[in-house]
Amino acid sequence: MTSDDLSDPSLRLALKLPQASAGQRIGLFGGSFDPPHDGHLMVSRAAIRRLRLDQLWWLVTPGNPLKEHAPGALARRVEAARQLARGEPKIRVTAVEAALGTRFTAETLAILKARRPGVRFVWIMGADNLRQFHRWRQWREIASMMPIAVLDRPGSTYAATVSATATALAPYRIGEDRAGALAGLDPPAWIFLHGRRTALSSTALRAAGKTRDESS
């Protein structure tokens, strides 16, 4: 992280770990948010409602080890995420991974659990990520740390539900009718939530923006 990033007041605030009390249900939704878009809001609202969450934290990551594309400046992405989530009282935008110096999700989640003991964390991700979750470092440890909620994404439904991870964790999958209980379950436990879907993606939006710039 550069000194220019640290001088940004929005980023300095986002580097702090949000407050949470023991017993609260907190969703963790990680990503580059490059850029954040309405699809992120759709997933977040669905997760908050169906999982009965007290808060949902957007973990704006410094980078993604599985992606070749380097994300834009962290301060810019944090501010864009904050603007998008304005008016959503249960969403907290945080860049705590940059402050912790962690590179992999398993490391981040272990620290969050240690620093917020008693909080009922739930890891939230799209079905497109479930397809490749077995490639994540220590993915089994992630599944053993906290329950996981997978939200459907266009083009990923079937591939996600027959993925290596879904197959390995099949005994621990619960039905959608029990979504409200997920946060209180001991891991491993996971759920696949169907509902409204959007084809919006940060990758497509970046590509569209680059095309417009090149044609102007």
pLDDT digits (tens, 9 = 90+) for 39-77: 999 999 999 999 999 999 999 998 755 455 556 789 999
Query: In which domain, by residue range, is 206 found?
Result: 3-215
**CA atoms of 140 and 148, how far apart (whole Å):** 11
Domain count, the chain: 1
Could you give the percent of the chain with pLDDT greater than 70?
Answer: 82
Domain CATH code at residue 137? 3.40.50.620
Q: Partners of 82 in the beta sheet?
A: none
The predicted structure's pLDDT at residue 69: 57
Q: How high does pLDDT run on average in the chain?
A: 87
Mean of pLDDT values over 102-111 = 95
Quickly state the pLDDT bin for 14 (edges 50, 70, 90). Answer: confident
Confidence (pLDDT) at 13 = 80
Residues of the chain with pLDDT > 90: what percent? 75
Q: What is the pLDDT of residue 45?
A: 97
Give the residue, 154 or 211, on which the prediction is more confident: 154
| Whether the predicted pLDDT of 91 surpasses 70 | yes
| pLDDT band per the 50, 70, 90 thresholds, residue 1 | very low
**Does pLDDT of 211 surpass 90?**
no
Name residues whose C-beta falls within 8 Å of residue 88's C-beta, 6 or more positions apart in sequence: 41, 44, 45
| DSSP string across 29-48 | EEE--SS--HHHHHHHHHHH
Tell me the per-residue pLDDT of 171-182, one tens digit each, with 9 for 90 and over: 999 999 999 999
**In Å, how far are 73, 79, 86, 127, 164 from 152, measured between CA atoms?**
29, 27, 24, 5, 17
Query: Is the per-residue pLDDT at 134 higher than 90?
Result: yes
Per the listing, tokens 């079905």 go with 127
CA dihedral 101, 31, 172, 169 (to 10 degrees): -90
Residue 35: asked if its preceding bond is cis (omega within 30°), the reply is yes
Give this prediction's pTM.
Answer: 0.87
pLDDT at position 90: 98
